[in-house]
Amino acid sequence: MDNSLAQLNTVGSGSYLPADVHFLLQPVDMVMTDVLEKERLIQSRQKHYSEMISEESAPSATHMALYERAMTQNAARMAADVQALALALDAEYRGPGIALVSFVRAGLPLGVLLRRALVERGRDAQHYGISIVRDRGIDTVALELIIARHGAENIVFVDGWTGKGAIAGEIQRSLAGDLRFPSTPRLVVLADPCGRAWLAASSDDWIIPSGILGATVSGLVSRSIWPAAGGLHGCVIYKHLQEHDVTVDFIERIEAARLTVDVAPTRPWNQEQALALQASALSVVAGLADRFQIANLNRVKPGIAEATRAVLRRVPDRVLVRDRADPDVQLLMHLTGLAGIDVEEAGAALGPYRAVTIIRSVS
């Protein structure tokens, strides 16, 4: 890693191995906000979600058992998808190096795995974790540091999945008019049910094992925090979760599986494919907003990973699933049962999504 980066006041690599990622995030100490109070402040627009953080609890034994079940079901799929994406990136980027820029936190495990796969192919691949905040944009301080070292033409953005496409839209707004980047930013994800990524392993909404845990599979860092005094965006290190941390174990298990796969490189969506996916996703979100009289679409959280995270971090009103018996939604079923949240089996009405959480109106 560049010595000048090591001199910055950042959280380093968190609990990842130092070679796997450098977080361009400054450590922050802040008072934790109760989830219900945070929801009230967000919905009343007294505070932006990025100005607050809640304590993250350790996953329960049942939660971890369901994580292990997801690994048994889908670790091989994730490994194959990582390899297919890495092969595509290796073919697409012919310059001297590749700068993988993962969005904290969902992009981190994929970015680490992609870097390893590219290095194995002889590529000079560097990996950074940076912040992007819905409605406020990308961390331009962090991005300019990366551009200065690697050039904008060598950057690829990494996230875990898309839900409604809010982050894809935020990247596009943040970089609008910046001629160093293509008009459609190069965003890579594992799952893209809404058709907003440049490169995706599939459009399926499936249970990505890392998507059902938080800090304990993402280097022990919190969701990113808006910097009140400027500079790099921030994060909290959740030291109280150290004994539950599976960050490195997760990477090593998927990496071991990846070394055994034989796949073809994935291909970017063509315009017809992308537009069809976008139309299907938008139709579902708009239909749910109309049905539940929701004016703020941020209260609709589609996709298994987003729906699960919303139950863990927000104040849900209800959860809709395509099929209650679907193995991929069993963690959601468990969490909703614990919290007494209504679950509706919605079938084909969810379109490309297998689960959606509706956030309760509390303002």
Element (H, E) at 289: helix 271-291
* pLDDT tens readout for residues 249-273: 999 999 999 999 999 999 999 999 9
* pLDDT tens readout for residues 327-348: 999 999 999 999 999 999 999 9
**pLDDT for 5:** 65
Number of helices (H), then strands (E), belonging to the chain: the values are 10, 14
Tell me if 156 sits within 8 A of 101, measured CB to CB.
yes
**pLDDT for 126:** 97
Helix (H, G, I), strand (E, B) or coil at 238: coil
**pLDDT for 179:** 94
**pLDDT for 9:** 86
Average pLDDT of span 141-169? 95
Residue 305 gets the label, from left (phi > 0), alpha (psi -120 to 50) or beta, of alpha
**pLDDT for 7:** 67
**Confidence band of 2 (pLDDT split at 50, 70, 90):** low
* pLDDT tens readout for residues 195-234: 999 999 999 999 999 999 999 999 999 999 999 888 999 9
**How far is the C-alpha of 48 from the C-alpha of 183, rounded, in Å?**
28
**pLDDT for 363:** 61
Compute the Cα dihedral for 295, 298, 299, 300 and give only its sign: positive
**How far is the C-alpha of 162 from the C-alpha of 154, rounded, in Å?**
22
**How far is the C-alpha of 121 from the C-alpha of 113, rounded, in Å?**
13
* pLDDT tens readout for residues 16-44: 999 999 999 999 999 999 988 998 999 88
Tell me if 264 sits within 8 A of 84, measured CB to CB.
yes
Average pLDDT of span 154-175? 95
**pLDDT for 253:** 98
Tell me if 220 sits within 8 A of 14, measured CB to CB.
yes
**CATH class of residue range 272-359:** alpha beta
Asked if pLDDT for residue 1 goes beyond 80, the answer is: no
Pairing of strands 97-103, 155-158: parallel
Write the DSSP symbol of residue 195.
S
CB neighbour list of residue 100: distance below 8 Å, 6 or more residues apart: 111, 114, 115, 118, 125, 126, 127, 128, 156, 158
Instruction: Specify the length of the chain in residues.
Output: 363
Compute the Cα dihedral for 138, 140, 142, 145 and give only its sign: positive
Cα–Cα distances in angstroms (integers) from residue 269 to residues 25, 186, 188, 266, in the given order:
32, 12, 11, 9
Tell me if 201 sits within 8 A of 191, measured CB to CB.
yes
Tell me if 38 sits within 8 A of 210, measured CB to CB.
no
CB neighbour list of residue 266: distance below 8 Å, 6 or more residues apart: 81, 84, 85, 87, 88, 199, 200, 201
Q: Residues spanned by CATH 3.30.1330.30 within the chain? A: 272-359
* pLDDT tens readout for residues 77-125: 999 999 999 999 999 998 889 999 999 999 999 999 999 999 999 999 9
Nearest CA to 108 out of 206, 6, 24 is that of 24
